[in-house]
Homo-oligomer: A and B are copies of this chain.
């Protein structure tokens, strides 16, 4: 019996989770919040969900683009290039983004009688994004459990994995990563230069090397 809701961007990590837990996921939810790459991600999310026969709901949080302060919401030119590290990427924090998506997901799960909300946060983001860290995940899990009267729980099974481990996982499951999107600039063809593109390429290269030696 399918019992879970996945917060699903259409990027590498949540697409891997969609495939790995496809037998449990009844509903995927994609959020647009005014980021450059939201439209490209949503296109991938639609394709993936259609291929797996999983219902997708798209929710527009346009007010975040209007009122929130982040380089990720300020056009492609504001996106830093270079390494995917804390100093370089701090400007791309969207304040409390995961908290907002998880809270809406919790309410939606309860409304649909689904007992689990899933999110694909991972350890490679801990140093940059506070709302990807284990202490945040643990606290919001308590809040979701208390605030839903025990009806909904949070599952974040990639919290301690890094992006290479997720990619290795996905390649073994047969995930076609060319049908996912990561570039923070949001261009039709990923720029290949922003920190997110570089992080993605490195993870895929290392994962392929460890599986096939190439």
Is the pair A139, B146 in contact by a Cβ cutoff of 8 Å? yes
A104 at the interface (CB under 8 A from B): yes
- A104-148, CB under 8 A of B: which get 1 and which 0? 101110111000000000000000001101011001101111111
**Chain B residues in 8 Å Cβ range of A94:** 107
Copies of this protein in the assembly total 2
A97 at the interface (CB under 8 A from B): yes
Known: A63-B59, A143-B136, A144-B96. A130 touches B103 (CB 8 A): no
Known: A63-B60, A135-B146. A99 touches B108 (CB 8 A): no
- Which chain A residues have a beta carbon within 8 Å of chain B's beta carbons? 57, 59-60, 63-64, 67-70, 94-100, 102-104, 106-108, 110-112, 130-131, 133, 135-136, 139-140, 142-149, 152
Is the pair B98, A147 in contact by a Cβ cutoff of 8 Å? yes
Residue ID in chain B nearest A147 by CB atoms: B131
Distance in Å: Cβ of A136 to nearest Cβ of chain B: 4
Is the pair B136, A110 in contact by a Cβ cutoff of 8 Å? no
Distance in Å: Cβ of A114 to nearest Cβ of chain B: 11
Is the pair A68, B108 in contact by a Cβ cutoff of 8 Å? yes
- Distance in angstroms between the alpha carbons of A63 and B33 in the assembled complex: 14
